[in-house]
Amino acid sequence: MEDIKIVKGQVGEELFLLGNAAIVRGALESGINVYTYYPGTPSSEVGEIFTKIFKNVGINWVESSINEKVALEVAGAAYARGAKAMVGMKNVGLNVASDPFFALATTRPKNENSAIVVLVADDPQQYSSAVEMDSRYYLKLLKIPALEPSNPQECLEYTKCAFEISRELKIPVIIRLVTMVAHARSNVKLGKLVPPKLDKTFDLSPEVNVASRLYFLDLKQDQIYNRMNRALVKSENSSLNWIENENATNIFSLGIITSGVSYNYVIEALDFLDLKAPILKLGFINPLPEKKIVAFLKQFKQVFVVEENDAYIETEVLAIAHKNRVQTKILGKDPFSYSKEGSLLNFVGELNPTKVAFALIKITDLTPKINLKQNKEKKYETVRRRPVLCAGCPYATIGYALKKAIKKLKSDSGKEIYFYQDIGCYTLLSFAPYSFANVKYCMGSSIALAQGVARTDDSLNIAIIGDGTFFHSGIPALLNGIYNKTPILVMILDNGWIGMTGQQPHPGSDTHHYQDGNFKKKINLEKFLLGTGANISVIKRQERIKGNYPDRLRDLIYEKSYDVLEKRDLHIIVIEDECIQKFNQRNTLEVRYIDERLCNNCGLCYNQFNCPALNEKNDKAYINLNDCLGCGICEEICPNNAIYGGDNNEF
Amino acid sequence: MKKYVQTMQYMEEIITNSNNYTIVITGLGGQGLIRFLQIIGNSLIQKGYKVISSEKHGLSQRGGKVTCFLRFGEKITAPVPIIGSADMIIAAEKACIFDVLEFTKRDRSSKLIIADYEKESQNNDYPSEEYFIKVLNENSDHINFVPVMPIVAQYKNLKIINTIILGYILRFLPLSEEEIKKSINRYFKKDLIVLNQKALEEGIKLK
Ligand SMILES: Cc1ncc(C[n+]2csc(CCOP(=O)(O)OP(=O)(O)O)c2C)c(N)n1
Ligand code: SF4
Ligand code: SF4
């Protein structure tokens, strides 16, 4: 519904839009030609919306690319060709895309229309990330302009500004978001849609080609002393860097510098304390407006810098103050001390208005009208809820089978067994009752991590990687292991989709059931792997051949692990079993029931198998019918045939 | 209609006193809290309010806890309120209320709206009824239990909890039944509209 409105909404109409949806509208109001992305919370919705609407709005191309690097390259070349392009990713995705980004940042297409905007969404407090990472220091490395909106309306407007700056200066512009902006919903007033256009000519001048060192250094000179210099002039004069409450005064001679979502927290905290202070709100976060900052600092004895995570702005402000001999005291995180004592706000975790209010109380010694401390201390006994796999998730069966296989392997071989986890829903197998994780880095690491230990030890090393992650960045590590004959077991969990971030497709996904599927070609993982000449076994849940599936899986893992230990070579097991969320979009499965006469409460299903729909109740196993998704695995593992139902299901 | 006029006056007072009205909503992943925000937010915008909502969740898709905020008034505010400032706190699953009590006002005026839905915990640590009552009484003078489970049983659908709550809280919001129904039509899939309209009416009828 929202998706249609993003396209159909009239000029001046106000919609209740997600920050990410407002970005889409902003891009449509800029005449976007190409959007490429790799999913990652909190940025994925932008790509999902574009995928749904792109056929209707005449955009040239939208794709969910194999990884962020490829997404950036596809969009980068479209930009060189004369397109208005945009690339979306989460913070850590920028690490993956960073290599080609340096060349892209330096190139200077001649085409009038060319523009490229890179959307990067940070996740303070790592609500849905493996690490907490502030992407803003890339701005200094890449030397490109960046804008940071503080609410959905600004998401729309800043996206338009970013396209305009990039088009004019011919330099990529980053839009930096954080979760609380990307996932905030608010009134968004729409502007006018601009139809995409693309020139016929492709201007192949040296400026789009950094292959030659000579050009590169010339272009880099141009990037810094011409394009970034002009960006600085824009930043100094930009209405995106503005002062709120310009005439406010307070007895502390205190001013505030802030940007992005923190700006809202500052307003809220000041209101709460009945404190009036001018606020320099920075929307143009690179290059920072030196003159504007100096003029602002000079008005106060002390200035408090409020920002999420790293002290990026504060460090810059400290340097600017020093260079301009400004004596104003600069307060914030005290980035050079690496100490909590000097720091008014934390480097780690997310900000909120309460934290900002506490910091302001520390600075001013004001007594607030309400004692927040007492509220802060309210901690109650509460139900702990661990994140769990979905009921019916294929990984519950894999965890169950793996656990059994490992137990037997340990006692039969006497070897130590280590696990290397990757990033996806299966990461939940790292926790109790499975605990299959010893080392874990980032997407695509597991297969190489296993190799590092296998080369220094005679243990059994098992890498566990999802199909999405395998395509994203697991392939080079696998080929490395095959080529070097490194004795590890690689388990590729092929659930068909990028489950964790909302079941988006990857090159191995069978998308023909879906709207955009007809023009995609599924890569057959099995055939692809056979081409490497490696030892592989494939087990498919959907093929119900003799024996029950969890036991077959257990036996296969056992057998192939022994092969790895004895033959000292790499072995791959591909487990094909579709993500139940996606499977259930096309099929309705019937829930299972417990036959209480047959259940002797052995606990196998709810203790060892651990489907979240299974519990114990009144000394019997119990299936919560609201949660059960009808996968039927519990029926297969129950030794007493006490679980039934689902006779009409077809797998 | 009379009730509606009263609500409007009450709302105007709150909004002019503090510039905005803050609702904290808590529950479990999969309960549909985000649609709940969309429906209220969209209706409020149609009425000319400035609204902002946000969500905090980890892997909520997989049964974790979710906390959302919805704030409205004459201007857009922060997506997250300061603690001790919520006008209303809604728990779509009973025990989730314990996670957000820091948002209750110190003058005990925050309205607590609590559904009687209890989702069993994997650790057998569900709080006792006595503890529950004691803690709530420590925090507010306006505790509203919403008996959603009998309605859920009647319609055999757990997914309507939010819509029943929505019907219930309508008496406190500056929105009419028709206005909310319009948003329900907009945000639910076709085959769920009638069910949710009914759930809304059930909620409105509750004492
Ligand atoms: C570099 C990077 N990009 C994006 C993400 C966001 N992300 C988390 S898990 C995941 C992929 C999971 O897919 P898959 O390996 O198929 O596992 P599944 O979730 O389906 O189990 C992604 C893209 C990330 N963590 N790191
Ligand atoms: S069929 Fe059994 S294992 Fe599958 S979701 Fe239902 S209770 Fe869980
Ligand atoms: S989204 Fe799919 S892969 Fe992820 S936990 Fe749920 S069923 Fe499993």
Higher pLDDT, A606 or A215: A606
User: How far does the centroid of ligand 1 lie from the alpha carbon of residue A499, in Å?
Assistant: 8
- Please state which of the ranges A64-73, A207-216, A300-309, B37-46 shows the lowest mean pLDDT: A207-216
Quick check: A294 and A322 in contact, CB under 8 A? no
User: How far does the centroid of ligand 3 lie from the alpha carbon of residue A20, in Å?
Assistant: 24
Using a pLDDT cut of 90, give the percent of chain B over it: 81
Domain total of chain B: 1
A332's torsion region: left (phi>0), alpha (psi -120 to 50) or beta?
Answer: left
Mean pLDDT of A174-180: 98
- DSSP secondary-structure letter at A34? E
Higher pLDDT, B14 or A407: A407
Please give the CATH architecture assigned to the domain spanning A591-646: 2-Layer Sandwich (3.30)
Kindly report the average pLDDT of chain A as a whole number.
Answer: 93
Quick one: which ligand is closest to A442's CA? 1
3-state SS track over chain B? CHHHHHHHHHHHHHHHHHCEEEEEEEEECCCCHHHHHHHHHHHHHHCCCEEEEEEEECCHHHCCEEEEEEEEECCCCCCCCCCCCCCEEEECCHHHHHHCHHHCCCCCCCEEEEECCCCCCCCCCCCCHHHHHHHHHHHCCEEEEECCHHHHHHHCCHHHHHHHHHHHHHHHCCCCHHHHHHHHHHHCCHHHHHHHHHHHHHHHHCC
Fold for the domain defined by A394-580: Rossmann fold (3.40.50)
- Residue B120: the pLDDT is 82
Q: Which atom of ligand 2 is nearest to the CA of A396?
A: 3
Mean pLDDT of B179-192: 95
Q: How confident is the model at residue A589 (pLDDT cuts 50, 70, 90)?
A: confident
Dihedrals φ, ψ of A147, to 5°?
A: -125, 145
Distance of CA A385 to the CA centre of its chain: 23
Quick check: A563 and A599 in contact, CB under 8 A? no
What amino acid is encoded at A30 in this protein?
Answer: S
Quick check: A444 and A422 in contact, CB under 8 A? yes
- Please state which of the ranges A147-151, A524-528, B63-67 shows the lowest mean pLDDT: B63-67
**Residue A525: how many other CB atoms lie within 10 Å:** 21
Pocket of ligand 3 (CB under 6 A): A 389-390, 393, 395, 425, 495, 499-500, 579-581; B 62
Residues of B in contact with A389 (CB under 8 A): 62
Diameter of chain B measured on Cα atoms: 48
- Residue A647: the pLDDT is 63
Question: Which of these, A402, A401, A399, A438, lies nearest to A420 by C-alpha position?
Answer: A438
Q: How far is B97 from chain A (nearest CA, A)?
A: 9
Mutation target for B interface from A385, A579, A625, A626: give the one with most B CBs within 10 A. Answer: A385
Distance CA A123, CA A177 (A): 9
Q: Please answer yes or no on whether B56 and A127 come within 8 Å at the CB atom.
A: yes
Tokens (6 digits) for A190? 């729409």
Q: Is B16 exposed, middle or buried (0-12, 13-18, 19+ CB in 10 A)?
A: exposed
Quick check: A114 and A170 in contact, CB under 8 A? yes
Residue nearest to atom 2 of ligand 2 (CA): A634
Coil, strand, or helix at residue A303?
A: strand
Q: What is the pLDDT of residues A614-647, one digit of tens each?
A: 988 889 999 988 889 999 999 989 999 999 986 6
Same topology between domain A2-237 and domain A394-580 = yes
Q: How confident is the model at residue A517 (pLDDT cuts 50, 70, 90)?
A: low
Question: Which of these, A307, A305, A306, A309, lies nearest to A347 by C-alpha position?
Answer: A309
Tokens (6 digits) for A476? 């080079």
pLDDT at position B28 over 50? yes
Distance CA A260, CA A359 (A): 18
Residues of B in contact with A184 (CB under 8 A): 52-54, 79
Q: How confident is the model at residue A382 (pLDDT cuts 50, 70, 90)?
A: confident
Which residue range forms the structural domain that includes residue B169? 2-205
Mutation target for A interface from B61, B106, B186: give the one with most A CBs within 10 A. Answer: B61
Q: Is the CB of A63 under 6 A from ligand 1?
A: no
Residues pairing with B84 in the sheet = none
Q: Is A278 exposed, middle or buried (0-12, 13-18, 19+ CB in 10 A)?
A: buried
Distance CA A94, CA A68 (A): 7
Q: How confident is the model at residue B13 (pLDDT cuts 50, 70, 90)?
A: low
Distance CA A348, CA A126 (A): 10
Distance CA A160, CA A283 (A): 13
Nearest CA in chain B to A622: B120
Coil, strand, or helix at residue A40?
A: coil
Residue A239, CA distances (Å) to A242, A289, A292, A317 in order: 6, 11, 12, 19
Mean pLDDT of B125-154: 95
Residues of A in contact with B82 (CB under 8 A): 268-269, 272, 352-354, 357, 372
Quick check: A136 and A174 in contact, CB under 8 A? no
Q: Please answer yes or no on whether B64 and A385 come within 8 Å at the CB atom.
A: yes
Q: What is the pLDDT of residues A277-324, one digit of tens each?
A: 999 999 999 999 999 999 999 999 999 999 999 999 999 999 999 999
- Note if the bond before A196 is cis, omega within 30 degrees: no
What is the residue whose two structure tokens read 């100096």?
Answer: A294
Mean pLDDT of A427-445: 89
Please give the CATH architecture assigned to the domain spanning A241-371: 3-Layer(aba) Sandwich (3.40)
Cα(first)–Cα(last) distance of chain B, in Å? 17
Q: Is the CB of A40 under 6 A from ligand 1?
A: yes
Mean pLDDT of A520-542: 93
What's the CATH class of domain A2-237? alpha beta
**Residue A457: how many other CB atoms lie within 10 Å:** 12
Coil, strand, or helix at residue A528?
A: helix
Of B81, B85, B187, nearest to A1 by CB-CB distance is B187
Of A264, A372, A383, nearest to B126 by CB-CB distance is A383
Residue A122, CA distances (Å) to A126, A185, A312, B167 in order: 9, 17, 14, 36
Residues of A in contact with B126 (CB under 8 A): 383
**Residue A168: how many other CB atoms lie within 10 Å:** 14
Quick check: A467 and A492 in contact, CB under 8 A? yes
Pocket of ligand 2 (CB under 6 A): A 391-392, 592, 611, 613-614, 623, 628-634
Quick check: A469 and A422 in contact, CB under 8 A? yes
Q: How far is A585 from chain B (nearest CA, A)?
A: 14
Quick one: which ligand is closest to A591's CA? 2
Distance CA A450, CA B152 (A): 50
Distance CA A469, CA A504 (A): 12
Q: How confident is the model at residue A650 (pLDDT cuts 50, 70, 90)?
A: very low
Q: How confident is the model at residue B125 (pLDDT cuts 50, 70, 90)?
A: confident
What is the residue whose two structure tokens read 């915990």?
Answer: B121
Residues of B in contact with A624 (CB under 8 A): 120
- Residue B62: the pLDDT is 67
Q: What is the pLDDT of residues A227-273, one digit of tens each?
A: 999 999 999 999 999 999 999 999 999 999 999 999 999 999 999 99
User: What is the per-residue DSSP string for A304-359?
Assistant: EEE-SSS-HHHHHHHHHHHHTT---EEESS-TTT--STT-SS-SSS---HHHHHHH
What is the residue whose two structure tokens read 């940007």?
Answer: A259
Ranges of each domain in chain A: 2-237, 241-371, 394-580, 591-646
> Side by side, which strands form the sheet with B65-73?
A14-18, A185-189, B50-57, B65-73, B20-28, B88-91, B111-115, B142-146
Q: What is the pLDDT of residues A79-113, one digit of tens each?
A: 999 999 999 999 999 999 999 999 999 999 999 99
What is the residue whose two structure tokens read 């959302």?
Answer: B68
pLDDT at position B29 over 90? no
Q: Please answer yes or no on whether A264 and B79 come within 8 Å at the CB atom.
A: yes
Distance CA A472, CA A458 (A): 29
Query: Cβ neighbours of residue A564 under 8 Å, at least 6 residues apart?
Result: A460, A487, A488, A489, A570, A571
Query: What ipTM does this complex have?
Result: 0.94
pLDDT at position A187 over 60? yes
Is the whole model's pTM more than 0.90, yes or no? Answer: yes
Residue B17, CA distances (Å) to A567, B8, B10, B24, B74 in order: 77, 14, 11, 19, 11
Q: How confident is the model at residue A216 (pLDDT cuts 50, 70, 90)?
A: confident
Residue nearest to atom 1 of ligand 3 (CA): A499
User: How far does the centroid of ligand 3 lie from the alpha carbon of residue A387, in Å?
Assistant: 12
What amino acid is encoded at A109 in this protein?
Answer: P
Q: How far is B24 from chain A (nearest CA, A)?
A: 14
Distance CA A624, CA A618 (A): 14
Tokens (6 digits) for B140? 């507010």
Q: Is the CB of A424 under 6 A from ligand 1?
A: yes
- Residue A19: the pLDDT is 98
Residue nearest to atom 6 of ligand 3 (CA): A390
Distance CA A534, CA A570 (A): 7
The total number of residues written for chain B in this structure: 207
The CATH number assigned to the domain holding B59 equals 3.40.920.10
Using a pLDDT cut of 90, give the percent of chain A over it: 80
Burial profile A468-505: b = 16 or more Cβ within 10 angstroms, e = fewer: bbbbbbbbebbeebbeeebbbbbbbbbbbbbbbbebbb
